Amino acid sequence: MKSLSTEILVIGGGAAGLSAAAEAAAAGAKVLVAESDLHLGGQLVKQTHKFFGSKDEYAGTRGFKIADILLSEIDSCKENVEIHTNTTITGFYPEDGIFTAMRGEEKFFHISAKKTIVATGAQERLIPFPNNDLPGVYGAGAVQTLMNVYGVVPGKRVLMVGAGNIGLIVSYQLMQAGVEVAAVVEAAPRVGGYWVHAAKIRRMGVPILLRHSIKKAVGDQVITGAYITALNDRFEPVGEESYMDCDVICIAVGLSPTTEILSQAGCGMMYVPQLCGLVARRDRTMRTSNPDFFTAGDASGIEEASAAMVEGRIAGLSAASSLGYPTEHGKLDEYWGRLQALRSGEAGARICQGLECVLVNRWEDVSNG
């Protein structure tokens, strides 16, 4: 079986992975990026809206343009970077330090690496309701991929479930594509995403129904409508259900970090609700309890892409540095300064609470188990 080896393996070619690869390659390390999709860029390539943040995180620039910026940065040190798209890392075998990889569905090979950065992103959550297996029920990521990558609208009239940033942004993008958004239902008493994203669709007449959720989908062969219901303070259905015509139900109820590889590598893991799931404990360099593994981006806790890119930079810098490549003094502190700035708003307070649980000062001081 074919076998590849590299100094730094970056698993995932999205916002965090590309930033990590660019940073490590610029420091002189040999980097291999494994991306399961056909294209690099991860979620960035679907983001047609302008990003928040500061100039350092390309604020005011549309997400897919940011992917281009990162790719051209990688291109400028391409002698150090090997890219493998359509390549899924299927497992890690700690006894011999080998990753198994699959290109397409037929080519299998091994990869060995001195250091690994796990930037595998996240998976969408779904909620159970009757008929949620009918065609027409989509995750928000699928709707974005259909529309913004392939130019296909998912339907004519959409019920959006969830008013976090993804639910709000995808609603806006659906309207840009000429699709009607019947309503956004949100179980919480306020929108979870940025208020300005909600304002954008409210002023175009989209109702955002707080303390509401979907009760069941309606349809024979495909979705033709949905029943929604109000919720009380304990998230229990109250009052009469109301019917809504729609041919698409789009689910945007949150993400969970993708961390299987970290678990297989024996990294110390912790379930942290504020970071939306099971994540690896890490120090300020994004190093996990396994000194050869680093984590960054949504795989280390669900957060904005702007923060994922900075975390990727930190992981790339640290991985290169741990291999002896000289890195600029003070860069780690600079990146932490940026992260702290990004995290000092309303949404950031929750992230900071979560990080307090998983961040360790020095691994030497942490007792085993």
Partner 1 sequence: MADDLDLFNSGVLTGEREGAVLPDRTLWESKKGGVVLVECPQRIPCNPCHTSCPTGAIRPFADINDTPKVDHSLCTGCTLCVASCPGLACFVIDLTFSGDKALFKLPYEMLPLPEKGQKVWCLNRTGDCIAEGTVENVTQPKKDRTYVIHVSAPKEVVGEFRTIRAVK
Candidate ranges 49-57, 222-230, 245-253, 294-302; the one touching partner 1 (CB under 8 A): 49-57
SS3 state of residue 361 = coil
Does position 306 interact with partner 1 (CB under 8 A)? The reply is: yes
Does position 204 interact with partner 1 (CB under 8 A)? The reply is: yes
Does position 191 interact with partner 1 (CB under 8 A)? The reply is: yes
Measured CA to CA, the distance from residue 351 to residue 344 in angstroms comes to 9
SS3 state of residue 34 = strand
Can you tell me which of 133, 196, 240, 368 binds partner 1, judged by CB under 8 A?
196
Nearer to partner 1, 59 or 238 (CB): 59
Candidate ranges 51-59, 144-152, 239-247, 317-325; the one touching partner 1 (CB under 8 A): 51-59
Can you tell me which of 12, 17, 41, 53 binds partner 1, judged by CB under 8 A?
53
CB of 145 to partner 1, least distance (A): 20
Binding mask 329-348 for partner 1 (x = CB under 8 A): ------------xxxxxxxx
CB neighbour class for 234 (10 Å; exposed up to 12, middle 13-18, buried from 19): exposed
CB of 62 to partner 1, least distance (A): 7
Does position 206 interact with partner 1 (CB under 8 A)? The reply is: yes
First to last CA, the chain: 36
CB of 353 to partner 1, least distance (A): 16
Measured CA to CA, the distance from residue 4 to residue 318 in angstroms comes to 22
Please tell me the number of Cα atoms within 13 Å of 25 on its side-chain side: 26
Does position 151 interact with partner 1 (CB under 8 A)? The reply is: no
Nearer to partner 1, 53 or 301 (CB): 53
CB neighbour class for 159 (10 Å; exposed up to 12, middle 13-18, buried from 19): buried
Tokens (6 digits) for 50: 């302008």
Does position 157 interact with partner 1 (CB under 8 A)? The reply is: no
Tokens (6 digits) for 211: 């303390």
Does position 189 interact with partner 1 (CB under 8 A)? The reply is: yes
Crossing angle of helices 15-26 and 305-322, in 10° steps, is: 30
Does position 201 interact with partner 1 (CB under 8 A)? The reply is: yes
Nearer to partner 1, 50 or 107 (CB): 50
CB neighbour class for 125 (10 Å; exposed up to 12, middle 13-18, buried from 19): middle
Candidate ranges 71-79, 106-114, 124-132, 194-202; the one touching partner 1 (CB under 8 A): 194-202
Measured CA to CA, the distance from residue 265 to residue 284 in angstroms comes to 19
Candidate ranges 35-43, 80-88, 193-201, 352-360; the one touching partner 1 (CB under 8 A): 193-201
Nearer to partner 1, 55 or 329 (CB): 55
Can you tell me which of 28, 37, 62, 285 binds partner 1, judged by CB under 8 A?
62
Measured CA to CA, the distance from residue 358 to residue 47 in angstroms comes to 29
Tokens (6 digits) for 86: 């359509």
CB of 130 to partner 1, least distance (A): 27
CB of 50 to partner 1, least distance (A): 4
Neighbouring residues of 77: CB distance < 8 A, sequence distance ≥ 6: 22, 25, 26
Neighbouring residues of 141: CB distance < 8 A, sequence distance ≥ 6: 43, 46, 124, 166
- Cβ-defined contacts of 228-231 (< 8 Å, 24+): 228/159, 228/183, 228/185, 231/187
Candidate ranges 97-105, 150-158, 195-203, 231-239; the one touching partner 1 (CB under 8 A): 195-203
Nearer to partner 1, 26 or 166 (CB): 166
How many chain residues interact with partner 1 (CB under 8 A)? 44
Does position 140 interact with partner 1 (CB under 8 A)? The reply is: no
Interaction site with partner 1 (CB under 8 A): 49-55, 59-60, 62, 163, 175-176, 178, 186, 189-191, 194-206, 208-210, 304, 306, 341-348
